[in-house]
Amino acid sequence: MRLGVLDVGSNTVHLLVVDAHQGARPLPAFSHKTELHLVELIGEDGAITPDGASQLEAFVAESVEIAEDKGVEEIIGFATSAIREAGNGEAVLAGIRERTGVELAVLSGRAEARLTFLAVRRWFGWSAGRLLVLDIGGGSLEMASGFDEVPEVAQSLPLGAARLTKEFLPGDPPDDEAVRALRRRVRAQIARSVGDLVRFGHPDRTVATSKTFRQLARVTGAAPSAEGVYAARRLARADLHEWLPKLARMRTAERAELPGVSAGRAGQLLAGAIVAEAALDLFEVDHVDICPWALREGVILRRLDGLPDEWQ
Protein backbone atom coordinates (compact mmCIF):
# COMPACT_ATOMS: atom_id res chain seq x y z
CA MET A 1 0.00 0.00 0.00
CA ARG A 2 1.26 3.46 -0.85
CA LEU A 3 0.36 5.93 1.89
CA GLY A 4 0.69 9.68 2.08
CA VAL A 5 1.34 11.03 5.56
CA LEU A 6 0.62 14.74 5.89
CA ASP A 7 2.22 16.12 9.06
CA VAL A 8 1.29 19.69 10.00
CA GLY A 9 3.87 20.52 12.64
CA SER A 10 4.68 23.72 14.46
CA ASN A 11 7.78 24.23 12.30
CA THR A 12 7.52 22.04 9.22
CA VAL A 13 4.59 20.91 7.09
CA HIS A 14 5.59 17.63 5.49
CA LEU A 15 4.05 15.18 3.03
CA LEU A 16 5.84 11.84 3.22
CA VAL A 17 4.90 9.18 0.67
CA VAL A 18 5.72 5.67 1.89
CA ASP A 19 5.35 2.13 0.65
CA ALA A 20 3.95 0.36 3.68
CA HIS A 21 2.88 -3.21 4.37
CA GLN A 22 1.91 -4.89 7.59
CA GLY A 23 4.90 -6.60 9.15
CA ALA A 24 7.43 -4.62 7.09
CA ARG A 25 9.20 -1.36 7.73
CA PRO A 26 7.73 1.70 5.97
CA LEU A 27 9.90 2.65 3.00
CA PRO A 28 10.00 6.35 2.09
CA ALA A 29 9.25 6.91 -1.59
CA PHE A 30 8.93 10.70 -1.82
CA SER A 31 9.14 13.73 0.45
CA HIS A 32 7.66 17.20 0.00
CA LYS A 33 7.95 19.76 2.79
CA THR A 34 8.27 23.40 3.71
CA GLU A 35 9.33 25.19 6.87
CA LEU A 36 6.14 27.19 7.38
CA HIS A 37 6.85 27.91 11.07
CA LEU A 38 3.18 28.00 12.04
CA VAL A 39 4.04 28.72 15.65
CA GLU A 40 5.55 32.02 14.52
CA LEU A 41 2.41 32.83 12.49
CA ILE A 42 0.21 33.02 15.59
CA GLY A 43 -0.74 36.59 16.42
CA GLU A 44 -1.04 38.26 19.81
CA ASP A 45 -4.70 37.18 19.91
CA GLY A 46 -3.60 33.52 19.89
CA ALA A 47 -4.97 32.88 16.38
CA ILE A 48 -3.12 31.79 13.25
CA THR A 49 -2.89 34.79 10.95
CA PRO A 50 -4.89 34.86 7.70
CA ASP A 51 -1.62 34.66 5.76
CA GLY A 52 -0.54 31.62 7.76
CA ALA A 53 -3.87 29.88 7.17
CA SER A 54 -3.69 30.68 3.45
CA GLN A 55 -0.15 29.31 3.14
CA LEU A 56 -1.13 26.12 4.95
CA GLU A 57 -4.19 25.61 2.73
CA ALA A 58 -2.06 26.09 -0.38
CA PHE A 59 0.52 23.55 0.80
CA VAL A 60 -2.12 20.94 1.61
CA ALA A 61 -3.76 21.46 -1.81
CA GLU A 62 -0.37 21.07 -3.50
CA SER A 63 0.31 17.93 -1.44
CA VAL A 64 -2.97 16.36 -2.54
CA GLU A 65 -1.98 16.83 -6.19
CA ILE A 66 1.47 15.38 -5.54
CA ALA A 67 -0.01 12.41 -3.68
CA GLU A 68 -2.30 11.65 -6.63
CA ASP A 69 0.61 11.88 -9.05
CA LYS A 70 2.63 9.47 -6.89
CA GLY A 71 -0.15 6.88 -6.76
CA VAL A 72 -1.05 7.33 -3.11
CA GLU A 73 -4.07 5.24 -2.07
CA GLU A 74 -4.75 6.96 1.23
CA ILE A 75 -3.71 10.22 2.89
CA ILE A 76 -3.35 10.24 6.67
CA GLY A 77 -3.27 13.83 7.88
CA PHE A 78 -2.59 15.12 11.36
CA ALA A 79 -1.70 18.36 13.11
CA THR A 80 0.16 19.01 16.35
CA SER A 81 0.54 21.79 18.89
CA ALA A 82 0.34 24.91 16.68
CA ILE A 83 -3.12 23.96 15.39
CA ARG A 84 -4.11 22.35 18.67
CA GLU A 85 -3.54 25.51 20.66
CA ALA A 86 -4.50 28.19 18.13
CA GLY A 87 -7.69 30.03 18.98
CA ASN A 88 -8.93 29.57 15.41
CA GLY A 89 -7.58 26.07 14.89
CA GLU A 90 -10.98 24.59 14.09
CA ALA A 91 -11.67 27.33 11.53
CA VAL A 92 -8.30 26.72 9.87
CA LEU A 93 -9.02 22.99 9.67
CA ALA A 94 -12.47 23.68 8.23
CA GLY A 95 -10.92 25.86 5.52
CA ILE A 96 -8.48 23.10 4.59
CA ARG A 97 -11.27 20.51 4.52
CA GLU A 98 -13.46 22.70 2.30
CA ARG A 99 -10.67 23.52 -0.16
CA THR A 100 -8.87 20.17 -0.35
CA GLY A 101 -11.13 17.49 1.11
CA VAL A 102 -8.36 16.53 3.57
CA GLU A 103 -9.45 15.86 7.14
CA LEU A 104 -6.60 16.70 9.50
CA ALA A 105 -6.84 14.97 12.87
CA VAL A 106 -5.53 17.03 15.77
CA LEU A 107 -3.22 15.00 17.96
CA SER A 108 -3.15 15.63 21.67
CA GLY A 109 0.28 16.01 23.23
CA ARG A 110 -0.14 12.69 24.99
CA ALA A 111 -0.98 10.97 21.69
CA GLU A 112 2.14 12.49 20.13
CA ALA A 113 4.25 11.05 22.95
CA ARG A 114 2.61 7.61 22.69
CA LEU A 115 2.93 7.32 18.91
CA THR A 116 6.54 8.52 18.95
CA PHE A 117 7.29 5.95 21.64
CA LEU A 118 5.79 3.21 19.44
CA ALA A 119 8.05 4.22 16.56
CA VAL A 120 11.14 4.19 18.77
CA ARG A 121 10.28 0.81 20.26
CA ARG A 122 9.85 -0.71 16.79
CA TRP A 123 13.17 0.79 15.65
CA PHE A 124 15.27 -0.42 18.59
CA GLY A 125 13.29 -3.55 19.46
CA TRP A 126 12.70 -5.34 22.72
CA SER A 127 16.40 -5.70 23.45
CA ALA A 128 16.51 -1.98 24.28
CA GLY A 129 14.77 -2.76 27.58
CA ARG A 130 12.95 0.01 29.37
CA LEU A 131 12.89 3.12 27.19
CA LEU A 132 12.72 6.80 27.97
CA VAL A 133 11.86 8.74 24.81
CA LEU A 134 12.30 12.52 24.40
CA ASP A 135 11.10 14.61 21.46
CA ILE A 136 11.55 18.38 21.18
CA GLY A 137 9.17 19.83 18.61
CA GLY A 138 8.47 23.39 17.62
CA GLY A 139 5.66 23.84 20.12
CA SER A 140 6.08 21.13 22.74
CA LEU A 141 8.33 18.59 24.42
CA GLU A 142 7.02 15.03 24.47
CA MET A 143 8.28 12.46 26.96
CA ALA A 144 7.30 8.82 27.39
CA SER A 145 8.65 5.83 29.27
CA GLY A 146 7.89 2.15 29.44
CA PHE A 147 8.86 -1.40 28.65
CA ASP A 148 6.24 -2.36 26.05
CA GLU A 149 5.00 -0.74 22.83
CA VAL A 150 2.51 1.35 24.76
CA PRO A 151 4.31 3.56 27.28
CA GLU A 152 3.40 3.43 30.94
CA VAL A 153 3.69 7.22 31.15
CA ALA A 154 3.33 9.78 28.35
CA GLN A 155 3.46 13.53 28.87
CA SER A 156 3.64 16.72 26.82
CA LEU A 157 4.98 20.06 28.05
CA PRO A 158 4.81 23.47 26.30
CA LEU A 159 8.58 23.54 25.83
CA GLY A 160 9.01 23.48 22.06
CA ALA A 161 12.06 25.19 20.59
CA ALA A 162 10.13 27.61 18.35
CA ARG A 163 7.66 28.56 21.08
CA LEU A 164 10.38 29.26 23.65
CA THR A 165 12.48 31.25 21.20
CA LYS A 166 9.50 33.44 20.28
CA GLU A 167 8.43 34.02 23.88
CA PHE A 168 11.72 34.24 25.78
CA LEU A 169 14.72 34.80 23.47
CA PRO A 170 13.99 37.84 21.28
CA GLY A 171 17.59 39.07 20.99
CA ASP A 172 20.18 37.97 18.46
CA PRO A 173 22.05 36.81 20.38
CA PRO A 174 19.82 36.97 23.47
CA ASP A 175 21.14 38.60 26.61
CA ASP A 176 22.50 36.48 29.44
CA GLU A 177 19.57 37.16 31.78
CA ALA A 178 17.04 35.99 29.18
CA VAL A 179 18.97 32.74 28.75
CA ARG A 180 19.18 32.19 32.52
CA ALA A 181 15.47 32.94 32.96
CA LEU A 182 14.54 30.46 30.24
CA ARG A 183 16.86 27.85 31.74
CA ARG A 184 15.16 28.22 35.14
CA ARG A 185 11.70 27.97 33.64
CA VAL A 186 12.51 24.90 31.54
CA ARG A 187 14.13 23.03 34.40
CA ALA A 188 11.28 23.78 36.79
CA GLN A 189 8.71 22.39 34.35
CA ILE A 190 10.66 19.25 33.43
CA ALA A 191 11.51 18.57 37.09
CA ARG A 192 7.79 18.25 37.91
CA SER A 193 7.54 15.31 35.47
CA VAL A 194 10.70 13.37 36.29
CA GLY A 195 9.17 11.40 39.16
CA ASP A 196 6.22 10.24 37.05
CA LEU A 197 8.42 9.13 34.17
CA VAL A 198 10.81 7.05 36.27
CA ARG A 199 8.40 5.75 38.90
CA PHE A 200 8.19 2.32 37.25
CA GLY A 201 11.97 2.11 36.86
CA HIS A 202 14.90 4.01 35.41
CA PRO A 203 15.47 3.58 31.68
CA ASP A 204 17.85 1.04 30.22
CA ARG A 205 18.10 3.27 27.17
CA THR A 206 17.22 6.92 26.62
CA VAL A 207 16.33 7.85 23.05
CA ALA A 208 15.74 11.21 21.39
CA THR A 209 13.89 12.00 18.19
CA SER A 210 13.17 15.21 16.24
CA LYS A 211 15.22 17.59 14.18
CA THR A 212 16.36 19.59 17.20
CA PHE A 213 18.08 16.58 18.74
CA ARG A 214 19.49 15.49 15.38
CA GLN A 215 20.99 18.91 14.75
CA LEU A 216 22.49 19.10 18.23
CA ALA A 217 24.00 15.64 17.76
CA ARG A 218 25.48 16.67 14.41
CA VAL A 219 26.95 19.88 15.87
CA THR A 220 28.64 17.86 18.59
CA GLY A 221 30.17 15.38 16.15
CA ALA A 222 27.58 12.77 15.16
CA ALA A 223 27.57 11.26 11.68
CA PRO A 224 26.10 13.43 8.90
CA SER A 225 22.80 12.51 7.26
CA ALA A 226 24.71 11.40 4.16
CA GLU A 227 25.82 8.29 6.07
CA GLY A 228 22.21 7.06 6.15
CA VAL A 229 19.64 6.21 8.78
CA TYR A 230 21.48 3.16 10.07
CA ALA A 231 24.55 5.07 11.25
CA ALA A 232 24.58 5.11 15.05
CA ARG A 233 24.23 8.65 16.42
CA ARG A 234 24.42 9.92 20.00
CA LEU A 235 24.20 13.21 21.85
CA ALA A 236 26.23 13.34 25.07
CA ARG A 237 25.33 15.44 28.08
CA ALA A 238 28.95 16.54 28.46
CA ASP A 239 28.96 17.86 24.88
CA LEU A 240 25.75 19.80 25.52
CA HIS A 241 27.33 21.39 28.61
CA GLU A 242 30.29 22.45 26.48
CA TRP A 243 28.29 23.74 23.53
CA LEU A 244 25.41 25.54 25.20
CA PRO A 245 27.45 28.64 26.24
CA LYS A 246 28.89 28.80 22.72
CA LEU A 247 25.43 28.68 21.14
CA ALA A 248 24.24 31.40 23.51
CA ARG A 249 26.97 33.75 22.27
CA MET A 250 26.32 33.10 18.58
CA ARG A 251 24.06 35.05 16.30
CA THR A 252 21.51 33.13 14.26
CA ALA A 253 23.60 33.49 11.10
CA GLU A 254 26.59 31.95 12.89
CA ARG A 255 24.56 28.98 14.12
CA ALA A 256 23.33 28.41 10.57
CA GLU A 257 26.94 27.79 9.53
CA LEU A 258 27.34 24.90 11.97
CA PRO A 259 27.29 21.39 10.48
CA GLY A 260 23.81 20.00 10.05
CA VAL A 261 21.98 23.18 11.09
CA SER A 262 19.46 24.58 8.61
CA ALA A 263 18.95 28.31 8.24
CA GLY A 264 15.28 27.94 9.09
CA ARG A 265 16.02 26.22 12.42
CA ALA A 266 19.17 28.09 13.46
CA GLY A 267 17.26 30.67 15.47
CA GLN A 268 15.64 27.93 17.58
CA LEU A 269 18.76 25.90 18.25
CA LEU A 270 19.68 27.62 21.52
CA ALA A 271 16.23 27.10 23.06
CA GLY A 272 16.30 23.49 21.91
CA ALA A 273 19.73 23.00 23.49
CA ILE A 274 18.48 24.47 26.78
CA VAL A 275 15.59 21.97 26.84
CA ALA A 276 17.81 19.05 25.82
CA GLU A 277 20.45 19.81 28.44
CA ALA A 278 17.81 20.20 31.15
CA ALA A 279 16.21 16.87 30.28
CA LEU A 280 19.49 14.96 30.30
CA ASP A 281 20.54 16.59 33.56
CA LEU A 282 17.27 16.05 35.38
CA PHE A 283 16.86 12.44 34.21
CA GLU A 284 20.55 11.88 35.03
CA VAL A 285 21.44 10.23 31.74
CA ASP A 286 24.89 10.60 30.17
CA HIS A 287 23.70 10.46 26.58
CA VAL A 288 20.73 9.88 24.29
CA ASP A 289 20.67 7.69 21.21
CA ILE A 290 19.17 9.41 18.17
CA CYS A 291 16.30 7.54 16.50
CA PRO A 292 15.50 8.30 12.84
CA TRP A 293 11.87 7.27 13.36
CA ALA A 294 9.46 9.54 15.21
CA LEU A 295 5.82 10.65 15.17
CA ARG A 296 5.16 10.16 11.44
CA GLU A 297 6.41 6.58 11.55
CA GLY A 298 4.34 5.95 14.68
CA VAL A 299 1.21 7.08 12.85
CA ILE A 300 2.04 4.80 9.92
CA LEU A 301 2.72 1.81 12.14
CA ARG A 302 -0.52 2.37 14.04
CA ARG A 303 -2.42 2.45 10.75
CA LEU A 304 -0.78 -0.78 9.54
CA ASP A 305 -1.50 -2.52 12.83
CA GLY A 306 -5.19 -1.93 12.19
CA LEU A 307 -5.69 -0.56 15.69
CA PRO A 308 -8.07 2.31 16.53
CA ASP A 309 -6.81 5.81 15.81
CA GLU A 310 -5.16 7.37 18.81
CA TRP A 311 -5.83 11.04 18.38
CA GLN A 312 -6.86 11.83 21.95
Q: Is residue 300 in a domain?
A: no
197 with 102, same domain?
A: no
Residues 164 and 233 in one domain: yes
Please tell me the distance from the alpha carbon of residue 89 to that of residue 95, in angstroms, as a whole number: 10
Partners of 154 in the beta sheet? 144
- Domain count for the chain, please give it: 2
C-alpha 42/C-alpha 53 separation (Å) is: 10
Residues 58 and 156 in one domain: no
Q: Is residue 132 located within the same domain as residue 279?
A: yes
Residue 261 shares a structural domain with residue 134: yes
* Residues 136, 14 share a domain: no
At 22 the pLDDT is 83
pLDDT score for 21: 87
Residue 245 inside a domain? The answer is yes
Cα 250 → chain centroid: 24
- CB–CB of 167/241 below 8 Å? no
Q: What is the CATH number for 247? A: 3.30.420.150
Contacts of 224 (CB under 8 A, 6+ apart): 218, 259, 260
The C-alpha torsion from 151 through 157 and 160 to 164, rounded to 10°, is -160
CB-based contacts of 149: which residues, under 8 Å, 6+ apart?
Answer: 117, 118, 121, 122
The answer to whether residue 307 sits within a structural domain is no
Digits of tens for pLDDT over the chain (312 positions)? 899 999 999 999 999 999 988 888 899 999 999 999 999 899 989 999 999 999 999 999 999 999 999 999 999 999 999 999 999 999 999 999 999 999 999 999 999 999 999 999 999 999 999 999 999 999 999 999 999 999 999 999 999 999 999 999 999 999 999 999 999 999 999 999 999 999 999 999 999 999 999 999 999 999 999 999 999 999 999 999 999 999 999 999 999 999 999 999 999 999 999 999 999 999 999 999 999 999 999 999 999 987 655 544
> Do 65 and 131 reside in the same domain of the chain?
no
Residue 119 belongs to some domain of the structure:
no
Side-chain-facing half-sphere of 278: CA atoms under 13 Å: 25
- Give the amino acid at 296: R
Domain of residue 51 covers 2-106
Q: Is residue 92 located within the same domain as residue 238?
A: no
What is the C-alpha separation between 12 and 34, in angstroms, rounded?
Answer: 6
102 and 189 share one domain: no
Specify if 203 maps to a domain. Answer: yes
Residue at which a domain ends, from 106, 133, 161? 106
If asked whether residues 241 and 154 sit together in one domain, one would say yes
Tell me what pLDDT residue 127 has.
97
The HSE-up count of residue 27 (CA atoms within 13 Å, CB side) is: 8
Find the CATH number of the domain harbouring 34. 3.30.420.40
Q: Could you tell me if 135 and 82 lie in one domain?
A: no
